[in-house]
Structure 1
Amino acid sequence: MGLGANQGDARAALDEALRRLGELPGVHVAAVSPCYVTEPQDKADQPWFHNRVAALDLGPSWTPESLLGALQDVEAAMGRPSQGQRERFGPRPIDLDLLLFGTTLRDTDVLTLPHPRMRQRAFVLVPLGDIAPALVFPDGEGIGAALTKIPFKIEGNSIFQGP
């Protein structure tokens, strides 16, 4: 799953979201990437984001849809406005995205897996590669190959993406 925030104490918000997720029944936070400070995408006129990626070990009762609902519940509890009340790609106190659910594929009105924009985003692929460097997407492409297709650079813990 991907985590991001750019309002308030963004790094603390990522830690708090991970804590809350780890308290859910049947959820264990198995791995967490380093935190990156990342250039906003799609809407540049806002504070930079703090981003991480986490791997979750889930009990057998979890489905992609139930996990998405839990992520949305954590977002709401942490002050993120509902989808109809917020600006698309705008600032946010917390953003939790379901990127992958094993090798599950979904394309519904509610959920698309893998996440439809994850391979266009260095702020997702770089930290994902930190915790799962050998990961291969369902279509057979690896993280390294996906990263070669997007322009980005890393300076320290900052990710810059663009031409």
Structure 2
Amino acid sequence: MLAYIGLGSNLDNPRAQVEQAFAELAALSGCELLARSPLYGSTAIGPGEQPDYVNAVGLLKTELTPLALLDALQAIEQSHRRVRLEHWGPRTLDLDILLLDNLSIDSERLKVPHPYLTQRSFVLYPLADIAPALHLPDGRSLQEVVALCPRDGLAQIE
């Protein structure tokens, strides 16, 4: 199964957090990191004044079930001392399953495609870097969705 993973950090050296997370994704049992986007800088979305984010997207080939992959990603977040104090609050590391093959999943623990996938420039632009010909499960091309999403200050930093 192919899994597109969104990575983000805005605390404790965000660039190093994302780079380390890529290394940890590559080392996950039953997974192979096939591609990674450049790093991007983005303005934080969420409550209060927050530092800017470093974002990227990775492509994993995985033998894990969707929930086992979610558990593995959450374990990586925890190893980075991720604290969930407030929704969309600052974080050392955020790993989101954006897409899993062409699956649609709507469970209490996991929603795929990611509910905000088509609204977030910091996900769409890096995703387009590694999968420009991708089509979403609803049939729309990624390029079509990217064209409708303003960059909102998003800038490639690597």
The TM-score, its normalising length taken from structure 1, stands at 0.88
SS at match of 2:98: coil
Equivalent position of 2:25 in the other structure: 21
2: CA distance, partners of 1:139 / 1:155: 26
User: Number of residue pairs matched?
Assistant: 153
Equivalent position of 2:96 in the other structure: 97
2: CA distance, partners of 1:94 / 1:156: 19
SS at match of 1:152: coil
Equivalent position of 1:72 in the other structure: 74
Percent identity over the alignment is 39
The TM-score, its normalising length taken from structure 2, stands at 0.91
Structure 2 unaligned segments of length 5 or more: list them.
none
Cα shift readout 1:90-116 (whole Å, capped 9, x = no counterpart) = 110000001111111100111111000
Matches within 5 A, 1:1-163: 1-43=5-47, 45-59=49-63, 62-81=64-83, 83=84, 86-153=85-152, 156-157=155-156
Q: CA deviation at 1:21?
A: 1.9
Q: CA deviation at 1:123?
A: 0.2
SS at match of 2:100: coil
Cα shift readout 1:99-149 (whole Å, capped 9, x = no counterpart) = 111111100111111000011000000000000000000111111211233
1: CA distance, partners of 2:154 / 2:43: 12
- Misfit runs of 4+, over 4 Å: 153-156
1: CA distance, partners of 2:106 / 2:25: 24
Q: CA deviation at 1:19?
A: 1.2
SS at match of 1:98: strand
Cα shift readout 1:2-59 (whole Å, capped 9, x = no counterpart) = 0000001111111111111222211111100000000112336200000000000113
